[in-house]
Amino acid sequence: MPWIHHFTNFFFNISWTNEFFKYMYFSRLITLLAPALEGSIVQGTNYSAYIDTFKIAIGLKIYKERYGKYPEKIQLLTPEILTSLPYDPFTGKEFIYKKEKDGVLIYSLGENEKDDNGIFDRKTNKDDIGWKLEI
């Protein structure tokens, strides 16, 4: 058998080379897809924050209709209006609830996990997610 056949048999007919090439293929594939997957996860978390703060905002509106004012704290919404309060998907803690002179704010801290006082502005990297309800 010529030497070239020994060479090709060694490198191309042994199972480790197949496993190596599979590993290299999937490694490269994951490297290419990881940023897109990360973006999808963040976007899904953003949607979850919007939906959960919207649920609380609806509960706040119902509370105001019943009692004529917004509650001092959002825990008063349970269990009469909401069965339970959702948590901020970014921090795992309660959403921020603030009473102001002209209404209330309910918001998530967003991806940066910093309290930007309920402001969402991409230019200044403020990414709080939520709603302002006026009196």
CATH number at residue 39: 3.30.700
Q: Which two tokens stand for residue 61?
A: 């509106």
Which range, of 4-8, 25-29, 58-62, 113-117, averages the lowest pLDDT?
4-8
- Average pLDDT on 104-127 reads 76
The answer to whether the predicted template modeling score (pTM) of the entire model surpasses 0.85 is no
Q: How confident is the model at residue 130 (pLDDT cuts 50, 70, 90)?
A: confident
Given a cut of 60, whether residue 13 has pLDDT beyond it is no
Q: Average pLDDT over the chain, rounded to whole?
A: 76
More confident residue, 115 or 85: 85
- Average pLDDT on 48-55 reads 88
Question: Distance between the two ends of the chain, CA-based, in angstroms?
Answer: 90
Tally of domains within the chain: 1
Indicate the helix (H) or strand (E) that contains 120.
Answer: strand 120-121
What DSSP letter does each residue of 9-67 carry, written as one string? HHHHSSHHHHHHHHHHHHHHHHHHHHHHHHHHHHHHHHHHHHHHHHHHHHHHHHHHHHH
Q: Which two tokens stand for residue 35?
A: 């940023």
- At residue 61, the pLDDT reads 92
- Identify the domain containing residue 123 by its residue range: 3-134
- Average pLDDT on 123-133 reads 76
CA separation, residue 85 to residues 30, 70, 90 (Å):
37, 16, 15
- At residue 21, the pLDDT reads 56
- At residue 64, the pLDDT reads 92
Q: How confident is the model at residue 42 (pLDDT cuts 50, 70, 90)?
A: confident
More confident residue, 21 or 60: 60
